[in-house]
Homo-oligomer: A and B are copies of this chain.
Amino acid sequence: MDKRVSEIGFRLSDCDMSGGDFDKCPVRDVMSQINGKWSVLLLHALSEQSYRFGELRRLVPDISQRMLTQTLRELQRDGYIDRTVFPTKPPSVEYSMTPLGFSLFAALSQVIIWAERNHPAVREARERFDAAERS
C-alpha cells in the first residue's frame, strides 16, 4: 500500500536551495512568502471581501502599521492581491483578491480547516512531549 499523496511531482533532489536560491524549489519559493506571521490572516480577510488599509488595520488589531504595509506589498508582488488607489483627499486605497489569490486560498483553506479541526490534538501531543522530556 502506497500512502504517498499522488499528483505531487516535486522531488527533493530538485530542491537545490544552496545560496538561498529557491527557484528550483517551487514549494518553498511559494511558501516562504506566505510564511509570514500575517500573510494567511490577511488572505483570509480579503477572501471574504475587499478592504481599505485602515479597515484591515482595525480588523487585525495586533498588526503594526509597518507589518501591514509590508505584508500587503509582498502579497501584491506575488500577484495574490490588487491595490487600487482612489485619488481622493485624503487618499483611499482598496485591497482586493486576484483570481490567483483566490485559487491559492482555496488550497490554503484545506490547511486552515485542518488546523481548526486538529488544533486540540496538536496541543495534546505537545503536552505529552514536554511532559516526557521533563522526566
Contacts and interface: CB of A to CB of B under 8 A. Distances in A.
> Main SS of the interface on chain A?
helix
Q: How large is the interface on A (under 10, 10 to 19, 20 to 34, 35 or more residues)?
A: 35 or more
A84 to B, nearest CB: 14
A65 to B, nearest CB: 16
Given A8-B116, A110-B111, A111-B107, A3 B41 contact: no
Contacts of A77: 125-126, 129-130
A103 B114 contact: yes
Interface of A: 3-5, 7-10, 12, 15-18, 26-32, 35, 37, 40-41, 44-45, 47-48, 59-62, 76-79, 97, 100, 102-116, 118-119, 121-126, 128-130
